[in-house]
């Protein structure tokens, strides 16, 4: 270190005065030559000997003295050393490589090393790596555990030039030299107090009975009160075990408050009340199911309650029979494994249809869009909304960026020759030019903004309506003026067809319009073989009365030869995993709608004996699209949700980015293994 230090100021004068005196002697020696040459030579000889001795002493002792001065200043200052040594905070001084130069008594007690220990700090605390020591910031903190305690290390780089800046005797010649001061703070108690404080916070929860009225309808009057009493008992017993306060606020609703520390217990139990309440049987044909919304980590009790309200709304929108736990940034789901309840009442559809009519009447124009890579259900639902806007005399347009072979026969039905405007179908760029503050943006067949054809449209207007049959996830369209999300519905086309019946008295569709909506139902129900309820057939009957023709629809949905070959190849490539799951890759070459073909392959694989669920991967436009299907034993929706997707119990999908087909297959297999271990899937 001494090679980077030189003396200055008074100390420089002190160490260099013999040489300065030598200069005076040299001047005097010159004057001696004027008087006597022999005397001048003699003086010069003595002067030379003096200079050699003085210069030798200066060079020999300079480095040693400089090093001693630095060591004295940094390590052996009596007052400062005593203060630091008795400092109650563990303190150590390191060189730039992390080697310990000095440590105080508290640091020695914490680490168990003595003051003669001069190895790297990494040997004691592996968390303090050399990469961390060589960081660019002068001050930084790092937390780690040591001997069952939690410490925060505060590390401060002290540049050597600033260390010597207050003295007039030495200075640093290189600016990259520095020392490192290390302080240790024991935060074990603070961490424990934070945990205790968090665990004592109150958690708000709302518990709703999903199908209260439906369950009571199948009972005699004498058993109805018994069923209600048994459900009350189940709910109260479950939450009383965790010291919770339970209050029944309506006939089918409960408000629950409990401490945060019990939430982990409920999560580990996977909210067994969901399955326990289904065992209540007093002659009811329909099993009772619950939905629970939990709000946590709000700034106050009111905020927790609002989170609980949002959670219960999301649980119901996803079909019920599940728990949604929500905090400020995250949402977690539990349950939701069973088929959604098909409600026979059509009151909600009528209310939503009337609300949609009122909203449309006050808007200038309507822009309709579905999800990216629009399919038959998305286009069919969009055409239904277009017809509703036309009845009110509103200009409506459907946003479609890419017209694939699966939807081209539908779009070809709406040409100028057949009486439809040329701009009935537009792309995103044209839609952005048409949108205004008083435009209604109608989203169908998706409820995720990132999945829509043009997410920017959602930011250009305050009037957004959503019609969708997929369960909601954490990503939702914010503040729609109307949201109609029914996971029990087979398709968006079913929901639209149902709403059109109440939109206006005597409302009728053209036959080609009814064909397209009917086609959406056909595709999403796999020819009425899955997700089909009473209201699905009622919607189909309405469309049939409106002129829908099965023969025309079948011709409309036919595949070309390349797509048919790709479907056959996808079935041929199928591999069976764990004797129950079919996994295949659908080729996308020469196929205009590879994702549609992938879904068809997934349906075909379910016809194989022993297959409980199928997963078909299709690589398209830099993404890997996963189509998953099942019949009744496996809930593919919760599987796809783990991959960032969603859908229905028996039909779901996901989109994977930045991975290969082999990596995607591995992800699916790993997810299946994990869910089997956790008990979410029973082989």
Query: Are residues 509 and 459 part of one domain?
Result: yes
- Comparing 138 with 133, the larger pLDDT belongs to 133
182 membership: H or E segment, kind and range:
strand 178-186
Distance of CA 439 to the CA centre of its chain: 31
Q: What pLDDT is stored for residue 52 in this prediction?
A: 80
Domain membership flag for residue 238: yes
Cβ contact 431:408 at 8 Å: no
Which comes out higher in pLDDT, residue 616 or 183? 616
- Confidence (pLDDT) at 220: 80
395 and 450: one domain?
yes
Mean pLDDT of 96-104: 83
Looking at the structure, tell me whether residues 227 and 269 fall in a common domain: yes
Domain match, 367 and 502 both: yes
- Give the mean model confidence (pLDDT) for residues 335-362: 76
pLDDT at position 182: 85
Judgement on whether residues 10 and 126 belong to the same structural domain of the protein: no
Whether the predicted pLDDT of 634 surpasses 80: yes
> CA-CA distance, 322 to 307, in Å (whole number)?
16
Mean pLDDT of the chain: 84
Identify which of 119-133, 261-275, 416-430, 557-571 has the greatest average pLDDT: 416-430
> What is the per-residue pLDDT for 1?
44
**Mean pLDDT, residues 127-144:** 80
70 pLDDT more than 70: no
Helix H or strand E segment including 575: strand 575-577
Same domain, 409 and 453: yes
> What pLDDT is stored for residue 429 in this prediction?
93
Nearby residues of 553 by Cβ (< 8 Å), 6 or more positions away: 515, 518, 519, 522
CA dihedral 517, 519, 525, 528 (to 10 degrees): 100
> Is 331 found in the same domain as 366?
no
pLDDT of residue 544: 93
Q: Taking residues 338-362, report their average pLDDT.
A: 76
**70-74, 272-276, 389-393: range with lowest mean pLDDT:** 70-74
Residue 111 sits in the same domain as residue 236:
no
Per the document, the length of the chain is 683
Please determine, for residue 167, whether its predicted confidence score (pLDDT) is greater than 70.
no
Q: What is the pLDDT of residue 507?
A: 82
Highest mean pLDDT among 15-19, 92-96, 260-264: 260-264
Give the model's pLDDT for residue 2. Answer: 47
Percent of the chain with pLDDT over 70: 88
Average pLDDT over residues 168-189: 71
Give residue-wise pLDDT tens across range 571-624: 999 999 998 999 999 988 888 778 888 988 999 999 899 999 999 999 988 889
Domain that holds residue 110: 85-194
523: left (phi over 0), alpha (psi -120 to 50) or beta: alpha
Instruction: Please report which confidence band the pLDDT of residue 85 belongs to, taking 50, 70 and 90 as the band edges.
Output: low
**What's the CATH number where 620 sits?**
3.10.310.30
pLDDT at residue 489, as a whole number: 86
- Residue 354 belongs to a domain: yes
Number of domains in the chain: 5
pLDDT digits (tens, 9 = 90+) for 216-240: 887 887 788 888 899 999 999 999 8
CA nearest 378: which of 281, 299, 297, 446?
Answer: 446
What CATH number is given to the structural domain containing 208? 3.30.70.270
Q: What is the pLDDT of residue 105?
A: 83
Q: Are residues 525 and 572 in the same domain?
A: no
Sign of CA dihedral 208, 213, 216, 222: positive
pLDDT of residue 264: 87
pLDDT at residue 12 tops 80: no
Taken in order 243, 244, 248, 249, the sign of the CA dihedral is positive
């Amino acid at each position: 270190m001494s090679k980077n230090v030189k003396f200055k100021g008074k100390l420089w004068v002190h160490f260099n005065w013999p040489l300065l005196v030598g200069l005076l002697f040299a001047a005097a020696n010159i004057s001696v030559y004027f008087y006597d040459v022999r005397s001048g030579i003699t003086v010069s000889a003595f002067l030379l000997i003096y200079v050699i001795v003085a210069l030798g002493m200066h060079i020999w002792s300079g480095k040693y003295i400089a090093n001693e001065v630095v060591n004295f200043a940094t390590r052996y200052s009596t007052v400062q050393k005593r203060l630091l040594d008795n400092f109650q905070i563990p303190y150590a001084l390191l060189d730039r490589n992390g080697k310990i130069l000095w440590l105080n008594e508290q640091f020695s007690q914490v680490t168990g090393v003595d003051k003669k220990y001069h190895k790297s700090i990494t040997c004691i605390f592996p968390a303090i790596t050399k990469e961390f020591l060589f960081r660019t910031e002068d001050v930084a903190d790092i937390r780690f555990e040591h001997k069952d305690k939690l410490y925060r290390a505060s590390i401060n780089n002290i540049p050597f030039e600033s260390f010597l800046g207050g003295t007039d005797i030495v200075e640093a010649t290189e600016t990259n030299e520095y020392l490192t001061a290390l302080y240790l703070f024991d935060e074990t108690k603070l961490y424990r107090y934070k945990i205790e404080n968090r665990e004592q916070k109150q958690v708000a929860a709302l518990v709703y009975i999903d199908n209260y009225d439906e369950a009571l309808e199948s009972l005699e009057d004498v058993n109805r009160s018994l069923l209600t009493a048994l459900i009350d008992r189940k709910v109260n017993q479950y939450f009383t075990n965790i010291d919770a306060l339970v209050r029944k606020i309506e006939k089918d609703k409960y408000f629950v408050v409990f401490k945060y520390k019990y939430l982990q217990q409920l999560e580990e139990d996977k909210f067994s009340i969901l399955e326990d309440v289904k065992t209540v049987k007093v002659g009811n044909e329909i099993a009772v199911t619950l939905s629970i919304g939990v709000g946590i980590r709000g700034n106050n009790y009111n905020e927790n309650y609002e989170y609980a309200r949002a959670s219960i709304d999301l649980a119901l929108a996803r079909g019920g029979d599940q728990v949604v736990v929500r905090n400020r940034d995250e949402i977690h789901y539990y349950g939701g494994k069973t088929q959604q309840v098909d409600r026979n009442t059509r009151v909600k559809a009528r209310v939503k249809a009337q609300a949609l009519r009122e909203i449309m009447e006050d808007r200038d124009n309507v822009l309709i869009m579905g999800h990216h890579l629009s399919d038959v259900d998305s286009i069919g639902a969009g055409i239904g909304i277009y017809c509703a806007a036309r009845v009110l005399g509103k200009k409506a347009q459907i946003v479609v960026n890419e017209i694939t072979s699966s939807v081209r026969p539908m779009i070809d039905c709406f040409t100028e020759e057949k009486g439809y405007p040329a701009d009935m179908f537009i792309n995103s760029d044209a839609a952005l030019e048409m949108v205004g503050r008083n435009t209604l943006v109608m989203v169908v067949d998706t409820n995720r903004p990132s999945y829509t054809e043009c997410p920017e449209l959602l930011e250009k207007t305050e009037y957004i309506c959503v019609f969708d049959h997929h369960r909601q996830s954490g990503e939702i369209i914010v503040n729609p003026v109307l949201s109609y999300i029914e996971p029990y519905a087979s398709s968006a086309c079913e929901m639209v067809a149902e709403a059109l019946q109440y939109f206006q008295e005597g409302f009728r569709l053209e036959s080609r319009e009814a064909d397209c909506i009917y086609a959406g139902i056909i595709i999403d129900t796999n020819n009425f073989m899955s997700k089909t309820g009473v209201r699905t057939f009622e919607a189909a009957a309405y469309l049939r009365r409106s002129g829908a023709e099965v023969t025309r629809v079948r011709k409309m949905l036919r595949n070309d030869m390349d797509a048919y070959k790709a479907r056959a190849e996808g079935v041929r490539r199928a591999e069976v995993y764990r004797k129950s799951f079919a996994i295949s890759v659908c080729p996308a070459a020469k196929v205009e709608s590879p994702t549609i073909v992938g879904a068809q392959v997934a349906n075909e694989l379910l016809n194989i004996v022993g297959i409980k669920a199928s997963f078909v991967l299709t690589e398209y436009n830099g993404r890997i699209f996963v189509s998953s299907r099942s019949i009744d034993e496996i809930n593919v929706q919760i599987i796809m949700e783990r991959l960032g997707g969603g859908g229905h119990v028996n039909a779901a999908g996901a989109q994977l980015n930045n991975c290969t087909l082999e990596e995607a297959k591995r992800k699916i297999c790993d997810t299946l293994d994990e869910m089997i271990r956790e008990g979410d899937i029973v082989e």
